[in-house]
Structure 1
Amino acid sequence: MLTKHGRCWLAGVAFAGALVASPPRPPEVFHTHERCFACHNQLAGPAGQDISFGFEWSATMMANSARDPYWQAGVRRETLDHPSAASAIEAECSICHMPMARYEAVLAGGQGRVFAHTKFDPGVRADRLAADGVSCSLCHQIAPEKLGTRESFVGRFVIAGATGGLRTAFGPVAVDAGRARIMSSSSGFRPTEAKHIRHSELCASCHTLLTHSLDAAGKPVGEFPEQVPYLEWLHSAYREAMSCQACHMPLVRGPAPIASVLVNLRDEVSRHSFPGGNFFLQRLLNRFRGELAVSALPAQLERSAEGTIEHLGREAARLTIEDAGVRENRLQAVIRIENLAGHKLPTAYPSRRAWLHVKVSDAGGRILFESGALNPDGSIQGNDNDLDPRRYEQHYEEINSPEQVQIYEAIMGDPSGVPTTGLLTAVRYLKDNRLLPRGFDKSSAEKEVAVWGTAVGDRNFIGGSDRVRLAIKLPGEQGSVRIEVALWYQPVAYRWAANLSEYQAFEPQRIWRYFRLLAQGSAVKLAQAVLVR
């Protein structure tokens, strides 16, 4: 019979054996942003402007992808709609919004998780990686292998391996040996020149999302193009002219530094401001920064939101009013809407919409006709879908009634053909008349980027522009009339937010509360035109 000491000895042997037999700890592939900020902040451009990579990045949606309360609400909604697939849904949704935490989890034999990390506990490495969103050491470690192929879409990029104890950090320029040694010793990364870091295919790996539609039992029933701006760009004239980075990482004009240590001025330095289309979420993050564990300073977020709005106003669209005249109390005119972007407008996540607000008034300012006014609650006056989730506005070639609103949007349909805002419930688009980029041929477009609905047959809805006729009956004889047309844009459409209110869970209820509080600032004007006749 074993003595007490014998049992302890045997237990000790077993424990030691378990330690010896256990697999090695998975390597730490990523650093959070603090390691990079030490040298890549405090940067000034030729005019003295702050171009600090870290300062600008920290207020972007890239940095805050995991904190995004709208995304969190969407993930929760999908897990409630498809409970049997909840863990798979979290794993899929973590790929691009919590990519570093997810990547290391998979290396350790696990899978990505979302809600396990949303407390963002600084004492937990996985939480720190999750909170860092799409960070420096993620993008700069993506290798060129497979980029631009379907195998790389939905976040299936390849992370470069380590050699000689150092990981690879790709950049667009060569770094001399002295500066490379400083970076390697301070960060564990070897700077390596690589041209792919400035190619659209790099961005495509996370911004091309082909999701799997699920049936009531949580089984896949098909593939759905949730967001495909890269494929839209690929089918446009811009593929030969401009990359994603050309617009979303604008170049500094003139020589500028890329590091604050041993400063060396370089040409064509890319800013890390990432202007896109989500000013509303940036302001929402700022307003509720305490609840959302936001680390960027208020001034940073407001500057970034303002930069996004300026970018949209400058680069998104142009409006003109043509062939206007009044005859026999009827106003006739043509509105020309030009898409200046290298993809559809709006693009990416299908909650985004743009629309025409048309207003006609007499010489005294009295409104004679109005279509598409924004309501204080964020809905559009006269929009069928905002009034009834089972209906939606068709694409119009002519507007002759206040009840007709020209909305450029994607309306998803469930297996019964009913409009839905559930990404994994959707099996096809019922309508997609988002403005096409220049050079886009809708007749030859692949299914993933196709036009859907009545816009298919509209001969004035073409690559780069749309023309909409106005045919408005005026109330009696008028002197001069003033025609005002504006193209508005809303990143989170009212219906998409309102549908989340039906889910009695923390995240959907939170975003519905946020939306209602900030609804009046949920949209901005992209372009406008005024004409008096």
Structure 2
Amino acid sequence: MNSRLALPRSSTLSLALFVLGCAHDGTPSGDDEVGGEGSSGGGESSSSREAGEAGEAGEAGDSGDSPDSSEAEDTGDAGALSALALPPGHEVHTGRVATAHTCEDCHANSDQAQAMRDELDRAIAPHNLWRGTMMANAGRDPFWHAMVEGEVLSTPSAAAAIEAKCMRCHAPLLSAELELTGASAPSIAALGEDTDHGALGRDGVSCTLCHQIEDEQLGAPTSFSGGWTVAGEGRIYGPHADPFPMPMLNHVDMSPVESPHMLESATCATCHTLHTEALDAAGQATGSTLAEQAPYLEWRNSAYSTELGEPGPAAASCQDCHAPKRSEGGVQTTTAIAHRPPGDDFPNNVFPRSPYGRHVFVGGNTLVLGLLRDYAEVLNPDAPSAAFDATIAATRDQLQGATAQLDLGTITREGEQLRVPITLTNLAGHKLPTSFPSRRVFAWIEVRDANDKLVFGSGAFDERGRLLDGEGEVLPSELAGGPTAPHYAEISAADQAQIWEAIMADDQGAPTYRLLRGATYYKDDRLLPAGWDAQLADAEIAPVGVAADLDFVAGGDSLSYVFDAPAAAGPYSVEVRAYYQPLSPRFLAELFALDGPKIRAFEAMLSTAELEPERLATAQASAD
């Protein structure tokens, strides 16, 4: 077929800075704590109906519109952000791949159709839900742009290889198009160009990439690190038998094809198992390879795996959690998967289908989703604010309801001290946190006496999310070049805090925060999923630095707090919390120690953002 190229959608938005504002100043304390109710949860969340409708305002004709500039406050010159400025998207159909604009004609919600709605009439079309996700905006993610720049600055001789590898999964449509046409590898500069290639790249992890992945070597190491195969021959894979092909053939010259691999975790593993080769400063390979992210391998060695042996009662694929087949109310979703291009339902031949996966792709990154929404006039995502609001609300629901469980054990008295044991259980199907090593989970505790006086605390943080000591000073481990925080089995001082995280090590065994210096892990005490078998786990995903902690086991970790608490001052109230940060302050500090225009622009964005950690779980008790 001939390529069908559509003109860019008009955009009258001017570049502007948006201010989210910092809500608090100081350490957590009493009712005015940083990260308290209405704070760590980001204030009043959208309702569950709003999360399900994911941008209802974008039905039919306005589904690609950007947020109105009146929604944000213009604070003046946006020159500091210009390095991250990206054009809006536009429709491109090359005959091999196409942007999501091509698909939305039939796969976005319309007020004229009942297709793609759940039992409560909530809008659940793939396009409506996907467009406000990190997947859709992988090519616009400002943190990713800053990180790629940081890696190039650290190893400039490998710039072309770095950009090509990173774009393989963050701008896969462009990568596929260039590969299929025998062109050169993609350059990140293309994402800033208002061209068809640029539009393909900015479309992120899009429809005609994932749904064209061939069932070839999936789950094998050759498929990892962006090793997906896309033939570009117009086969659009889905899970449904006997698809009716004529509408898709007539409208976009592509054909729906049944294939069960669309429901298999191994399809996701093509990008969500990523290995990087360590390089020295001159760009030479050192011979070491790092599992930079491996949620698929972690999942495969868990009680949730559907691949190894007989699946157990907890078995669930990546898609079962991240593209759930049930509605928010838990009802199995059955609905027509498309409507006619004019917006009304097909009169026949397109019947309700099940399974129907809601393309919510919820993870844990509320921070960057907020930046995409609030800096829309700079980043130009193809989604309205409502779509991001819905994904952020759904993300918080998942973080708070399905990620971790925190339990207080029996508090015991040891003379004039109290011992408070806690257990944090991982409810996810992989490590917690998983994937990119910027993420961390940490524990917070406050103990108050009968007069409500704070007698012990750990894990206090400031308005930038940095951990503090008992005097309110930032811990040295939060600063660039500082020491690393160890793994604790017992904490007895306010300048000690338990952080579950992954820290890379270079070939000399020293901690590093540059991905391409990473040869192995210096620390990896991320919580293991239930069912973890140390004998079966790949060596590259084994925990590091926890051998002496016998309470670090499959499914969770326990630790104790021991502190002075005279019996005469009791009873004592104890509150513990677990918090999550997608971008740890230490990781950011190491990035910001480098100097590049995108790094400085991302730093400017974060300077106006709320960086309070997301609360995962809370437990309370009292003790004499």
- Report the alpha carbon displacement of residue 112 of structure 1 after superposing the two structures with TM: 3.1
What code does the residue aligned with 1:503 have?
Answer: L
CA contact (8 A) 1:120 1:130 kept: no
2:579 counterpart of 1:491: no
Q: How many residues align?
A: 498
2:131 counterpart of 1:64: no
Query: Partners of 1:76 and 1:296 in 2: how far apart?
Result: 26
CA contact (8 A) 2:97 2:232 kept: no
Per the alignment, residue 22 of structure 1 pairs with none
Report the more deviating stretch, 35-44 or 51-60. Answer: 35-44
2:270 counterpart of 1:196: no
2:300 to 234, 241, 264: 234
Secondary structure of 1:269's partner?
A: coil
User: Where do residues 211-360 of structure 1 align in structure 2 (5 Å cutoff)?
Assistant: 211-221=276-286, 222-239=288-305, 240=311, 241-252=315-326, 253-254=331-332, 255-261=334-340, 262=346, 264-360=351-447
What code does the residue aligned with 1:237 have?
Answer: A
Query: Partners of 1:106 and 1:153 in 2: how far apart?
Result: 17
Per the alignment, residue 23 of structure 1 pairs with none
Per the alignment, residue 531 of structure 1 pairs with 621
1:150 to 203, 206, 221: 221
Secondary structure of 1:332's partner?
A: strand
Query: Partners of 1:363 and 1:112 in 2: how far apart?
Result: 66
What code does the residue aligned with 2:218 have?
Answer: L
- Report the alpha carbon displacement of residue 341 of structure 1 after superposing the two structures with TM: 0.5
CA contact (8 A) 1:317 1:339 kept: yes
Secondary structure of 1:518's partner?
A: coil
- Report the alpha carbon displacement of residue 224 of structure 1 after superposing the two structures with TM: 0.8
Report the more deviating stretch, 209-218 or 440-449. Answer: 440-449
Per the alignment, residue 399 of structure 1 pairs with 491
> Kindly tell me: are residues 407 and 33 of structure 1, through their superposed partners in 2, closer, same or farther at Cα, counting changes over 3 Å?
same
Query: Partners of 2:564 and 2:268 in 1: how far apart?
Result: 48
What code does the residue aligned with 2:515 have?
Answer: L
- Report the alpha carbon displacement of residue 159 of structure 1 after superposing the two structures with TM: 1.3
Secondary structure of 1:242's partner?
A: coil
Per the alignment, residue 504 of structure 2 pairs with 412
Query: Partners of 1:457 and 1:260 in 2: how far apart?
Result: 59
Per the alignment, residue 3 of structure 1 pairs with none
Query: Partners of 1:110 and 1:150 in 2: how far apart?
Result: 25
What are the Cα deviations for residues 52-76 of structure 1, in whole angstroms up to 9, with x where unaligned? 2101100001100000010001111
Query: Partners of 1:479 and 1:199 in 2: how far apart?
Result: 55
What code does the residue aligned with 1:49 have?
Answer: R
CA contact (8 A) 2:289 2:520 kept: no
Per the alignment, residue 472 of structure 2 pairs with none
Per the alignment, residue 100 of structure 2 pairs with 33
User: Where do residues 173-184 of structure 1 align in structure 2 (5 Å cutoff)?
Assistant: 173-176=240-243, 179-184=244-249
- Report the alpha carbon displacement of residue 516 of structure 1 after superposing the two structures with TM: 2.6
- Report the alpha carbon displacement of residue 258 of structure 1 after superposing the two structures with TM: 1.4
- Report the alpha carbon displacement of residue 442 of structure 1 after superposing the two structures with TM: 3.2
Per the alignment, residue 515 of structure 2 pairs with 423
1:462 to 553, 570, 587: 553
- Report the alpha carbon displacement of residue 327 of structure 1 after superposing the two structures with TM: 4.3
> Kindly tell me: are residues 469 and 444 of structure 1, through their superposed partners in 2, closer, same or farther at Cα, counting changes over 3 Å?
farther
2:238 to 167, 171, 192: 171
- Report the alpha carbon displacement of residue 443 of structure 1 after superposing the two structures with TM: 5.1
- Report the alpha carbon displacement of residue 381 of structure 1 after superposing the two structures with TM: 1.5
User: Where do residues 46-85 of structure 1 align in structure 2 (5 Å cutoff)?
Assistant: 46-85=119-158
- Report the alpha carbon displacement of residue 118 of structure 1 after superposing the two structures with TM: 2.6
Query: Partners of 2:241 and 2:249 in 1: how far apart?
Result: 14
Per the alignment, residue 176 of structure 2 pairs with 103
CA contact (8 A) 2:297 2:538 kept: no
- Report the alpha carbon displacement of residue 48 of structure 1 after superposing the two structures with TM: 1.2
Secondary structure of 2:376's partner?
A: coil
Query: Partners of 2:480 and 2:446 in 1: how far apart?
Result: 24
Per the alignment, residue 5 of structure 2 pairs with none
- Report the alpha carbon displacement of residue 120 of structure 1 after superposing the two structures with TM: 4.6
User: Where do residues 367-516 of structure 1 align in structure 2 (5 Å cutoff)?
Assistant: 367-382=454-469, 383-387=475-479, 389-442=481-534, 444-453=536-545, 455-474=546-565, 477-516=568-607
CA contact (8 A) 2:299 2:429 kept: yes
Query: Partners of 1:490 and 1:421 in 2: how far apart?
Result: 16
2:203 to 127, 132, 145: 132
What are the Cα deviations for residues 406-455 of structure 1, in whole angstroms up to 9, with x where unaligned? 100001122333322100011121100000000113355322111011x1
CA contact (8 A) 2:461 2:468 kept: yes
Query: Partners of 1:105 and 1:280 in 2: how far apart?
Result: 32
Secondary structure of 2:484's partner?
A: coil
Query: Partners of 1:249 and 1:120 in 2: how far apart?
Result: 32
- Report the alpha carbon displacement of residue 265 of structure 1 after superposing the two structures with TM: 1.8
Structure 1: which 5+ runs fail to align?
Answer: 1-25
CA RMSD of aligned residues (A): 1.7
What code does the residue aligned with 1:76 have?
Answer: E
What code does the residue aligned with 1:235 have?
Answer: N
CA contact (8 A) 1:140 1:170 kept: yes
Query: Partners of 1:205 and 1:288 in 2: how far apart?
Result: 30
- Report the alpha carbon displacement of residue 337 of structure 1 after superposing the two structures with TM: 0.7
Which protein, 1 or 2, shows the higher relative CO under an 8 Å CA cutoff with sep ≥ 6?
Answer: 2
Query: Partners of 1:444 and 1:145 in 2: how far apart?
Result: 25
Per the alignment, residue 17 of structure 1 pairs with none
CA contact (8 A) 1:95 1:112 kept: no
TM-score after normalising by structure 1: 0.90
CA contact (8 A) 1:497 1:511 kept: no
Higher helix share: 1
1:365 to 445, 452, 455: 452
Query: Partners of 2:586 and 2:571 in 1: how far apart?
Result: 38
2:191 counterpart of 1:118: yes
Secondary structure of 1:291's partner?
A: helix
Per the alignment, residue 34 of structure 2 pairs with none
Secondary structure of 1:477's partner?
A: helix
Query: Partners of 2:363 and 2:97 in 1: how far apart?
Result: 25
What code does the residue aligned with 1:264 have?
Answer: F
Query: Partners of 1:85 and 1:181 in 2: how far apart?
Result: 47
- Report the alpha carbon displacement of residue 390 of structure 1 after superposing the two structures with TM: 3.7
Per the alignment, residue 20 of structure 1 pairs with none
Secondary structure of 1:456's partner?
A: coil
What code does the residue aligned with 2:99 have?
Answer: T
What are the Cα deviations for residues 173-224 of structure 1, in whole angstroms up to 9, with x where unaligned? 0244xx3111111111111111010000000000000001101210111211
Query: Partners of 2:335 and 2:449 in 1: how far apart?
Result: 53
Q: Which has the larger radius of gyration?
A: 1
TM-score after normalising by structure 2: 0.77
- Report the alpha carbon displacement of residue 268 of structure 1 after superposing the two structures with TM: 2.6
Query: Partners of 2:599 and 2:467 in 1: how far apart?
Result: 22
Query: Partners of 1:287 and 1:352 in 2: how far apart?
Result: 22
Structure 2: which 5+ runs fail to align?
Answer: 1-92, 110-115, 306-310, 341-345, 470-474
